[in-house]
Structure 1
Amino acid sequence: MNDWRNVNYLIHGTAVQKEVYNLLTELEIMNLLTDYNPLLVGTIPLGIQVEDSDLDIICEVYDPVKFKSLVVRFFGAMEGFVSESRVVQGIPRTKINFMAKGWPIELFGQPRRTELQNGYLHMIVEAEILAQMDDDFRERIILLKTSGWKTEPAFAKVLGLKGDPYEALLELEKLSRSELYSLCHSIQARE
């Protein structure tokens, strides 16, 4: 499994992953956000990005005003810069979006360790599933994403999961590796 905290794994990835690594390095974004334990999550780390993929960076943010101030200082002049803070299900959330060299970037912060945030948990289980499934499975996910599907609903559809796809993937994340392995192989055997 990758050390997701350090984006150096992108150097050895696809051409797009290498491009993202160069962008993140040039912007120094991960270094500038070090105090917020940033993690790049989503389709880029998984290697299942499509043309309109963005860079999702989650952060551990206990003081949204201080966080926004830092981001404005370094990235406030970037194209399309916009920020929003609100409370969802009792949890404060800060979302900041901007463009850098043609890449949409979204910074998402909440007062929770990044390793416990849903974006990270979804990515971890998706990575494990991709590791267990064949290339056809990966291509089906990418095809759905190319058709406009979000990542979690695409996984849920291909896996045949019922209900809220985001919650269903969080339930899979709770399985042991051997239970997830068995589930993936039973799905693959049905196809």
Structure 2
Amino acid sequence: MSASSRGRQAAEILQKFGVMDILSDFDPVVAGTLPIGIDTASSDIDILCHASDLDRFRKFAISRLETFAQFSCHDRAATANVGAAVIVRFVCGGFPVEIFATNCPVMSQFGFLHMLVEARILHLMGPDFAKGVLALKMAGVKTEPAFAQLLGLDGDPYILLAEMADMTPGEMHNRLISTIRK
């Protein structure tokens, strides 16, 4: 799958407003549904950042991004699976943006792993599966639970998808074939 027209428009907006350049010290990566073409009209632009010092990141974000419409910045406590984070939200060129910064390299963050796994699944399962994901999303189901529901995965969809990140294409194919509910 590849970015939708809305995803390409989001990339242009980020470029126009220099958001990725502003965040360049924090290894920003656009993740989520936009890059893999399963976004809806309400999907935001998800940006993952690596911030070894969350206090520094928070201060930086406030000083550099607070002029954007609907700016907010808050801390999120660590959970069992994800470390503490700073969440920044604002609107840029008509697109809602959410920045998730944590003291974990971006390529190891759940959001990045989910996107990779979801892209692989979409490639393996084809366009009808993608339409099913979009239909569930339009009905209000979040992305990861939508994948889990269509694949018949039992358990926490966020953990299950992250665990699939290290699978080879063959292993993933076999896992999908064995779990899909008929």
Structure 2 matches for 1:150-189, cutoff 5 A?
150-185=142-177
State whether residues 4 and 38 of structure 2, in contact with CA within 8 Å, keep that contact through their aligned partners in structure 1.
Answer: no
Partner of 1:84: 74
Q: Separation in 1 of the partners of 2:159 and 2:178? A: 21
Q: Which amino acid aligns with 1:96?
A: V
DSSP 3-state at the match of 2:41: coil
Amino acid at match of 2:15: T
Which residue pairs with 2:133 in the alignment? Answer: 141
Q: Does 1:103 align with 2:95?
A: yes
Q: Is the 8 A contact 2:51 2:103 kept in 1?
A: yes
CA distance in structure 2 between the partners assigned to 1:123 and 1:16 by the alignment: 17
Among residues 60, 84, 93, which one is paired with 1:70 in the alignment? Answer: 60
Shift of 1:128: 0.5
Of residues 98, 101, 109, the one that matches 1:117 is 109
Aligned residues with identical type, % of pairs: 33
Amino acid at match of 1:150: K
Normalised by the length of structure 1, the TM-score is 0.87
CA RMSD of aligned residues (A): 1.9
* Partner Cα separation in structure 2 for residue 113 and residue 149 of structure 1: 28
Q: Which residue pairs with 1:130 in the alignment?
A: 122
Aligned-partner Cα distance in 1 for 2:177–2:155 = 21
Tell me, in whole angstroms, the C-alpha distance in 1 between the residues paired with 2:173 and 2:155.
Answer: 21
Cα shift at 1:79: 1.5
In 1, Cα distance between equivalents of 2:96 and 2:44: 5
**TM-score (norm. length: structure 2):** 0.91
Structure 1 residue ranges, 4+ long, deviating more than 4 angstroms after superposition? 185-188
Contact 1:43 1:53 in 2 (8 A): yes
1:187 positional shift:
5.8
CA distance in 2, matches of 1:98, 1:21: 16
CA–CA separation in structure 2 for the residues paired with 1:185 and 1:80: 44
Equivalent residue, structure 2, for 1:4 = none
1:46 aligns with 2:36: yes
Q: How far off is 1:14 after superposition?
A: 3.0
